[in-house]
Amino acid sequence: MRRGTAWQRVLTGALAGLATTIGLTTALAAPAAAATGTPTAVTRYTYTSQPGDYIGQGGTATYKKSTATITAGGSAEYVRFRVSTDNEWWDVELAAPQGEKLHPGVYRDAERASFRTGRSPGLDVSGDGRGCNEVYGQFSVNQIETDTSGAITVLDAGYTQHCESATAPALKGVVKYRAHPLSYAYTSDPGDYIGQGVSKTHTGSTSTFSLSGRGDGIQYSASGKREYWTALLAPPTGEHFQAGHTYQAERSSAAGVAGLDVFGNGRGCNTVTGELTVTKLAFGTDGAVKAFAATFVQHCEGGGPALHGSIHYYA
């Protein structure tokens, strides 16, 4: 098995300078407006309430722009996310510790937002007139962006809230406002050398991501959870990637064969067989790839066990 050297070369090269952490005030790598498979921003609210949870009443629901009015207000210091229909409403408040701003990450030991103390973050989810006097919980921020005035323009977050007691039944939810998917996930079969039989998902709350051109192909990286991953992807010789197309793949591209080389944590393949499906693809005005999504199946050294993965970079 190939070890170490290629990984070190990629990490210390141009890609290291392109590592992307979503900022508070700048929309980084925004997808182009017109391209095959252009990504669509997601605005949605989903919650799941355990039996006995007072706020959610043990229910589960999903609200989209087509069925509800969904807004995000406030600032990076204190976000107010609201969902309303003709007969329902929900408020989700996420607050940074006093004197700070929210950024991608995990916020533990949250208190009721308006009454948070010391350095605690704030959380307060209420609905249809039901609210908590005391809040115990945590939330994660995957993406957050603001405009030049400080107003929220992008939000992707999840929360877990317990009402009145840290052991009370939980209300869990996901809020998305004009967010594009950003993640790397993989499942490794038992016996797969690269993934070591493990499954993990990387999101903006725990990990950073980068994307750059590499000849006619793409170089993608994810770093987080004590892991480093790189995917080198190339279209078949003489072709360009097309959204919605599935390619047979080997480690190096050739006529009719895409290039696929996914490696991480010092482990890589000498030879690869597999499959690559490009699901989303968007370009900027300069012709550079700005958004990309794909799934892959990679077999190392002709073996049966595979590494299965999905890439979402603002797509």
- Average pLDDT across each block of 10 residues of the chain; the chain has 315 residues. List them in order: 36 32 34 55 98 98 97 98 97 98 98 98 97 98 97 98 98 98 98 98 98 92 98 97 97 98 98 97 89 98 97 97
How far apart are the C-alpha atoms of 66 and 232, rounded to whole Å?
A: 38
* Predicted pLDDT of residue 37: 64
Distance spanning both ends of the chain, measured CA to CA: 32
* Predicted pLDDT of residue 13: 32
* Predicted pLDDT of residue 15: 29
C-alpha dihedral over 63, 277, 11, 185, to 10 degrees? Answer: 40
Q: What is the DSSP letter of 99?
A: T
How, if at all, do strands 122-127 and 135-146 pair? unpaired
